[in-house]
Chain A
Amino acid sequence: MRSKIDKILLIILLIAFSVSIYLIFQWVPQIKASNPAEQIAQRIFYFHVPSAWLGFLAFFVVFCASIAYLATRDRKYELISVASAEIGVLFISLVLITGPIWAKPVWGIWWTWDVRLTSSLILWLIYVAFLMLRRYLPDGSKRANLSAVVGIIGFIDVPIVYYSIRWWETQHPKAVMASSEGSLAAPMFFAFMFSLATFTLLYVYLIRKRYQLLTLEDTLNKQFKEMEIL
């Protein structure tokens, strides 16, 4: 199953990640902040935001694959949706971890019920529930159908959750002052885009690998079943 594309992808990824780490930690100029901790913490942004993007991308793929599954009943799409949901949960977990690491020195607190934080947490909960549902169901077309339905409802719900929390938040006084967000300076923008592209490539690589693994498991299970029949 080791295809040539995967090998090339892996090599590109290794180079791209080395470059983006250099860009992020060496090349990008220090931001102007009175607090030295904030200057260092700011660099987490180059990992935090691409992780969030990747999470959304992954859940969008879950949504598309779920629709494709219900339309075609092709097991391929079921496996893609699972692979993508797993990667999405992983990267949203990274978002939820890197966020507080940044927030502590800058805001002075680990967590606040701000719209982005709360909706990321709810997003994470939705897809963890999606994966748990699959764990509790026996393999088969029933599981595929049920998880596809949840995959569709879950994704449609995401903007509604965001919208509702934003609304709710404006009703409450802000707990913390968000740092003033100006436009990004050119080198920062470049490093950010580079990191974003690297992460997107990582997603492509991960989903390919996970999908291959799931297909292998499938084949193995089938062969076991055949042996049992004999």
Chain B
Amino acid sequence: MMRTAISILQKDLRMEFRSKESILAMWIFSLLIFVIFNFTFEVSRLVMLEIAPGLLWVAFVFSGMFGLNQSFALEKENGNLRAMALMPVDGGEIYVGKFFSVTLIMLMFEALIFPIFIIFYDLQLSLGMFRLIPVLLAGTIGFTSLGTILSAVAVHTRNQQILLSLLLWPLVSPIIIWSVTLTGMILSGEVTEAFYPLLLRVGAFDVIFFTLSYMLFDFILED
């Protein structure tokens, strides 16, 4: 049933592993964000600890735009978008395939940039950091579930890149707010009892955004 989704996912991942275009661009861009941040805000270590979670998510979100933009721009290049629209499958399946490829690429990038983040900002590694995994997962899925459908919307415009940011950022702000809060709890080592309900809430909104996009994706493909 999900064969189309799986083929799209395989194709996207194969392309990414061969060219490494998205991940590399995202990684370098994040590095640049850290560097620029260091020059623009000279802060003490104490303040740094407070703003680190925000900085991490700024890097994720800004760099994530690369992956999202790329995802459909590549399809458009050789008229593949049109071919996809003509495929006799449910649009939702194409969404699922694209969603997973974008999400996996972004998660890999996050895994690669996180050690750099730890080193640059001299954060203490601890076992509690494992709790970051579900947080990054939930936050990233929220970002990419809306991002995938809006990227498919924006790809039809002339100013694809700016428009995707304009559409996506206000809509995804709840996910980012919560992810930053959760990340902050972990990095500061003060995981309160509010942690798991909040994480669950992000997960719940991920499901809402995903389902909504899945249902609406058909309308985006048709002419």
Contacts and interface: CB of A to CB of B under 8 A. Distances in A.
Interface residues of A, number: 30
Given A129-B166, A145-B220, A168-B177, A153 B156 contact: no
Given A129-B167, A149-B220, A160 B174 contact: yes
B212 A122 contact: no
A175 interface: no
A160 B198 CA distance: 13
B212 A165 contact: no
A189 B111 CA distance: 57
B118 interface: no
B170 A125 contact: yes
A136 B174 contact: no
B163 A133 contact: yes
Question: Interface size for chain B: under 10, 10 to 19, 20 to 34, or 35 or more residues?
Answer: 20 to 34
A220 interface: no
B173 to A, nearest CB: 6
B212 A164 contact: no
Interface of B: 146, 149-150, 153-154, 156-159, 163, 166-167, 169-171, 173-175, 177-178, 181, 198, 205, 208, 212-213, 216, 219-220, 222-223
Interface centre among A136, A141, A142 (most CB of B within 10 A): A136
Most chain A beta-carbon contacts within 10 A, residue among B167, B205, B208: B167
A153 B146 contact: yes
A153 B174 CA distance: 14
Interface of A: 70, 122, 125-126, 128-129, 132-133, 136-137, 141-142, 145-146, 148-150, 152-154, 156-157, 160-161, 163-165, 167-168, 171
Given A129-B166, A129-B170, A146-B220, A160 B205 contact: yes
Contact of A133 (B153, B175, B181): B153
Given A129-B166, A150-B167, A157-B171, 15 more contacts: A122-B173, A132-B163, A133-B154, A133-B166, A133-B167, A136-B159, A142-B156, A146-B153, A146-B220, A160-B208, A161-B170, A161-B174, A164-B174, A164-B178, A165-B177
A126 B171 contact: yes
28 contacts: A70-B219, A122-B170, A122-B173, A126-B171, A129-B167, A129-B170, A133-B154, A133-B163, A133-B167, A136-B158, A136-B163, A137-B157, A141-B223, A142-B156, A142-B223, A145-B220, A146-B156, A149-B219, A153-B171, A154-B171, A160-B174, A160-B205, A161-B170, A161-B174, A164-B174, A165-B173, A165-B174, A167-B177
